[in-house]
Structure formats: structure tokens, C-alpha cells
Structure 1
Amino acid sequence: MFMGEYQHNIDTKGRMIVPAKFREGLGEKFILTRGLDQCLFAYPQEEWKVLEEKLKKLPLTKKDARSFTRFFFSGAVECEVDKQGRINISQPLRNYSKLEKECIVIGVSNRVEVWAKEIWEDYFTESEESFAEIAENLMDFDI
């Protein structure tokens, strides 16, 4: 399980250090793709396979299912952690997530998310203001 929040930088070549706490869980090779809310999602190989199987079951006849699957898979790349604990984030993924220099890396249960610092701060502030309401709405799910 991934949890916690870490601040890192991306260098001019698009390399970012993966927090040491996340490296073991992600493995030497993992999948990085476009996420929701303009961040990137990173999945260990095993979690990616589970997600892939679920997405394969979406009905091809539904436009939303096709769109989501295209969005998700077309951005996916396999990342390999180098000896310094870094990965190279492709330019299309950096463009999508507005990653330039400062970034926030967070653990979210079965995945890791990579956010541009400013986008994360805006998202967090907005979510923090409505956290009680969000929690109340989730009570239906026994949380």
C-alpha cells in the first residue's frame, strides 16, 4: 500500500527521483499513465494487470468506455528506475500534467500519483474546504 506525500523536482531531461518509500512497492519497472485531475498515475506491474483486465471488460459499444480506455492506454509507458532511483517522464506525460520543475508525489493505496506542485496545492485547497461534505457523501460506502 502506498501512502504519504513527497516533494521532488524534475530535471531538464524529464527525470524525477521516485521516493525511496515507493520504489520497493512499484518495482524496478512499473507503468506510468495519464491520471484523472491532471496528474499522472503510477502502477506496479501486478496492479496494472488487474486494472487492464477490468478495462477489457468495459463494453466496446459504449462511447465513454472507448474514450476512457483510449485516454488511459495511449498515455501508458513502462518506466524503469535507474541506479540513482530516477525515472524519465515522457514529454507527452509532462505536457498533460503540466510538470515542469517542482512536483508532488503521493501514495494513494494501490497507486502513486505525480502532480505539478501548483496543481496539487490548488486541488488540495479546494478538496480541504469540502472534505467534510465529501466524507459525508462517502458514508454510503461504509467508510
Structure 2
Amino acid sequence: MFTGEFKYSIDSKGRVVFPPRFREELGTTFYATKGMENTIFIYTNNEWEILAEKIGRLKQLSMKEARSFARLFFAGASPCELDKQGRLSIPQNLRQYAQLDKEVYIIGVAKRIEIWDKEKWEAFNEDESSNYDSITEKLQDLEI
């Protein structure tokens, strides 16, 4: 399970050091794709296969939104590996999508990792932290 928040810098070649505690669980190959709120979502190979199966079960023949989601989600995806120094070379299309500049936050969100632009994460964190109680109350009736 991925948890925690880590601040790193992207080098001039688009590489970012990955938190040491995430590296082993990620495995040799993993997947990066477009996430919500202009972030990058990263999944282990196993989670990627589970997610691909679930998306494949969406009603793509009858729902335009399901087709659009699948296209955007998978077209933006890239298989990735960490180099010997534990760095991820973030694909250019994903850096542009997430509007990543110099500093990023890498956060653990249970079964996935997210990469956020520093300013966007700090603004999101500040805004949503003030609504934490309200969000929790709205979700309390969901089966988890």
C-alpha cells in the first residue's frame, strides 16, 4: 500500500527520484497515465491489469463517456521503469498534461501513486484540508 507525501525536483531530462519506500512495491515495470486534476497516476503492473479488466467491462459500445475515458486513459499511458539511481523518467506527454515544471509532490494513495505539480498539490491540500470534516461526513454512508 502506498502512503505518504514526498517533495522532489525534476531534473533537466525530466527525471525525478522516487521515494525509496515506494520502489520495491512498484516492481520492475509499472504504468503511468493521465490522472484526475491534471496529475499523473502510477500503478503497479498487477493493479494496471486489474484496472484494464474493469475498464474493459464498461459499456463501451453504448456509452460515449466510457469510450472516451478508455481512449484518453490508455492512449496517455506508458510502461515505465526506475533507473539504477531510483529515478523515473517521466514521459514528455505526461509532463505536459500534468503541467510539471521543476518541483513535484509524489503521494501515495493506497493502490496508486500520484505525481502533482508542487503549486497544484499545495493549493489542493490547503483547500481540501479545510473541508476534511465535510468530505468525511458525505462519505460515511458509503460501503468501504
**TM-score (structure 2 length as normaliser):** 0.96
> Percent same amino acid among aligned pairs?
46
Task: Report the Cα offset of residue 142 of structure 1.
Answer: 4.6
Are 2:82 and 1:81 equivalent residues in the alignment? yes
Corresponding residue of 1:119 = 120
Corresponding residue of 2:106 = 105
Corresponding residue of 1:3 = 3
Corresponding residue of 1:53 = 53
Letter aligned with residue 70 of structure 1: R
Corresponding residue of 1:91 = 92
Letter aligned with residue 9 of structure 1: S
Task: Report the Cα offset of residue 91 of structure 1.
Answer: 1.1
Corresponding residue of 1:29 = 29
Report the Cα distance in structure 1 between the residues aligned to 2:127 and 2:73, rounded to whole angstroms.
25
Report the Cα distance in structure 2 between the residues aligned to 1:29 and 1:10, rounded to whole angstroms.
20
Letter aligned with residue 4 of structure 2: G
Letter aligned with residue 27 of structure 1: G
Letter aligned with residue 11 of structure 1: D
Q: Secondary structure of 1:123's match?
A: helix
Structure 1 regions of 5+ residues with no counterpart? Answer: none
Corresponding residue of 2:135 = 134
The total of aligned residue pairs comes to: 143
Q: Secondary structure of 1:59's match?
A: coil
Task: Report the Cα offset of residue 73 of structure 1.
Answer: 0.5
RMSD: 0.9
